Structure formats: C-alpha cells, structure tokens
Amino acid sequence: MSASSYAYLGPEGTFTEAALRTLPEAATRELVPMVSVPAALDAVRGGEAAAALVPIENSVEGGVTATLDELATGAPLMIYREVLLRIAFALLVRPGTRLSEIRTVTGHPVAQPQVRKWLAAHLPDAQWESAASNADGARLVRDGRYDAAFAGEFAAPTYGLEPLVTDIHDARNAETRFVLAGRPARPAARTGADRTSLVVWLRDDHPGALMELLQEFSARGVNLTWIESRPTGEGMGRYCFSIDCEGHITDRRVAETLMGLKRICPNVRFLGSYPRAGAEQGAPEAAPRPGTADADYVAAAEWLARCQDGRA
C-alpha cells in the first residue's frame, strides 16, 4: 500500500470497487480494499493512502452512517469527487446450482431491503443470513456455507461463481453515492454544477436553531440537496446535521452562507466542494434565485463601497 494508492471499502468485488473503477485516475493507482469505512478513511488520515472511496448515501437505504460519522469527527478529511452508481444485484451461485435448489442466501445487510420483494416472490422459503459485505457473501457461497449470494454481477468471476439472475432491485433507480475523501487541501475546482458538503452543530439550548440554520441558506438562495441528522453521542436529543447544498465554496452566495453558519453555530466542518455527479439523473439543479449570482454580489459590494465613500 503506497502513499499514492486509493483505499476503498472492500473487499474486492463490492459496488465500491466498481464505483472506484469509474474514475479515470483509478487506472493508474494502486487500489487497496479495506475492511471498513473507518479503516479506509484512517488509511488516508495516516498518509498510507492518497484518498479513499466510501459510500455515503443510498437512494433506498439513506445515509451511510459510518461514513457520515467518520467524516464528522476525528482528523478532518475533505471530499474531492463523488460517484453515482446504479445498484442492481445478481444472484451468484456455484456453477450448476438451480433456483429451486437454493435454501440459504446471504449478502450485506444493506442489500437485504433492496432485494426483499424479489426474494419473497422468487425464493419465499429461502433463509437470509447477513454477511460482512456482498463480496464476503460471495466468498461464503464459494466455500459452500450458503447456496447463493446477492452481489454485483462483476463479483462473479473473482469468486468462481456464476450469475443465476441479474438486474435484481426492488426499487427502480436504486443508486448509491460514493465520495472520494482525502486530506484537507484546496477544494476541487469549480465547475458550475457543484455540491458543497458540511457538518453543522446546533446550539443545543435553542428550539428554533434548526430554522435559523436553514435561514442562512434560504436568505441567500442556496438550495439544500440533503440534510441528515446524526446524534452527537452526547445523549438523546443532541444532533448535528450533515448537509449538502448546491454550489461551490467560491460561489459568493455559498461563501456567505458558510460564514453565516460559522457565526451562529458552535461548530461547522467544511467537507468540500466538488463536481456534482449525475446532475442529469437526479433532480435538476434549480436556477439560482435572482440576485444571488456572483455578479450580483460584486455589484452590491461595489455599491456598498460607493456608499461608504459618499459616491452612491
């Protein structure tokens, strides 16, 4: 494992690896599977890897709490890229196994709700047992412990299995969003279709604090794309918020929003601004509200200077 390698949530053959391989630079880097999200991110913190790709959100299961919590605490990391991957499962079996012979199935716990309906319809009597990862489930099938595993079709050759059924997914459009996290440095360059990620802590004695926080965004016309509460670990009822918004830290309206949050919140962690993946697939980026473009900010600052100089 070299300092220029990319770590990822392993083992080999997971969707995370498949997502990582969609990045052009992955072709020229050592890709190192890690046993957990914390392990992958700690490899980056410790300098053993240049960056780590980890899942952050699934369109069926929601936020990946291990990732959210790891990014919110510990030595700071920053997100430089995101990858959207459509999730469809294959049912992997040892060559020759027939559907009617399957008594036990396995897969990652996160996979279960995404294939539950399919299982109920096609293998109503099969027993599910969770594996540590989809790839690990495949390994356990190879070793004869289970009859079939749900995993990405691309995992079949690695484990000597064959895909008996493919494109299994209870929900249409199931996707997972992955982020490439590295040590803090200059954010990714602005592209015009960017996302900014934050973690924000609220003053805990304050009922309207969440409204105030959101007002910092709405007053500047910055659209939230995601908000997820996470416990701070200081007891029931104490939360921080993982927030994604449209725009880049160098967009004036985003910069002013971030400074506004910084002023009213006891803690704000900037997690990066980076190109938005798959803008064409998800909800369209809303047009910025009138008066919130950089040019408007520049014009207003110039006007203010003229007022202060008595030339308005």
| Contact set for a copy of itself, span 129-148 (CB under 8 A) | 129-130, 132
Question: If you count them, how many residues does the chain have?
Answer: 312
Q: Give Cβ neighbours of residue 248 (< 8 Å, ≥ 6 apart).
A: 187, 190, 191, 194, 196, 254, 273
Minimum separation from the CB atom of position 179 to a copy of itself (A): 13
Minimum separation from the CB atom of position 60 to a copy of itself (A): 5
Residues 149-188 contacting a copy of itself, CB under 8 A: 171-175, 177, 184-187
Residue type, 142: R
Residues 4-23 contacting a copy of itself, CB under 8 A: none
How far is it, in rounded angstroms, from Cα 88 to Cα 151? 8
Q: Compose the 94-133 pattern: x for residues touching a copy of itself by CB under 8 A, - for all others.
A: ---------------x---x---------------xx-x-
Nearer to a copy of itself, 158 or 223 (CB): 223
* Piece of 10-18, 88-96, 142-150, 215-223 that binds a copy of itself (CB under 8 A): 215-223
Q: Give Cβ neighbours of residue 172 (< 8 Å, ≥ 6 apart).
A: none
Residues 277-296 contacting a copy of itself, CB under 8 A: 278, 281-283, 286, 290-292, 296
Binding a copy of itself (rule: CB under 8 A), the pick from 26, 126, 165, 264 is 264
Minimum separation from the CB atom of position 258 to a copy of itself (A): 6
Nearer to a copy of itself, 21 or 190 (CB): 190
Establish if 227 lies at the interface with a copy of itself (CB under 8 A): yes
* Piece of 5-13, 48-56, 157-165, 263-271 that binds a copy of itself (CB under 8 A): 263-271
Among residues 121, 137, 129, 131, the alpha carbon closest in space to that of 103 is found at 129
**Per rule CB under 8 A, count of chain residues that contact a copy of itself:** 89
Binding a copy of itself (rule: CB under 8 A), the pick from 255, 274, 275, 280 is 255
How far is it, in rounded angstroms, from Cα 234 to Cα 110? 27
How far is it, in rounded angstroms, from Cα 278 to Cα 17? 18
* Piece of 1-9, 10-18, 48-56, 204-212 that binds a copy of itself (CB under 8 A): 204-212
Binding a copy of itself (rule: CB under 8 A), the pick from 1, 75, 189, 259 is 259
Residues 24-63 contacting a copy of itself, CB under 8 A: 57-63
The answer to whether 30 and 1 have CB atoms below 8 angstroms apart is yes
Minimum separation from the CB atom of position 161 to a copy of itself (A): 22
How far is it, in rounded angstroms, from Cα 210 to Cα 67? 23
Nearer to a copy of itself, 109 or 160 (CB): 109
* Residue 283 CB neighbour total at 10 angstroms: 8
What are the φ/ψ torsions at residue 292 (nearest 5 degrees)? -120, 5
Q: Which long-range contacts (CB under 8 A, 24 or more apart) does 151-155 make?
A: 151/13, 151/14, 151/89, 151/90, 151/92, 151/107, 151/111, 152/13, 152/14, 152/15, 152/18, 152/89, 152/90, 153/88, 153/90, 153/92, 154/13, 154/18, 155/12, 155/13, 155/14, 155/90, 155/92
Nearer to a copy of itself, 192 or 291 (CB): 291
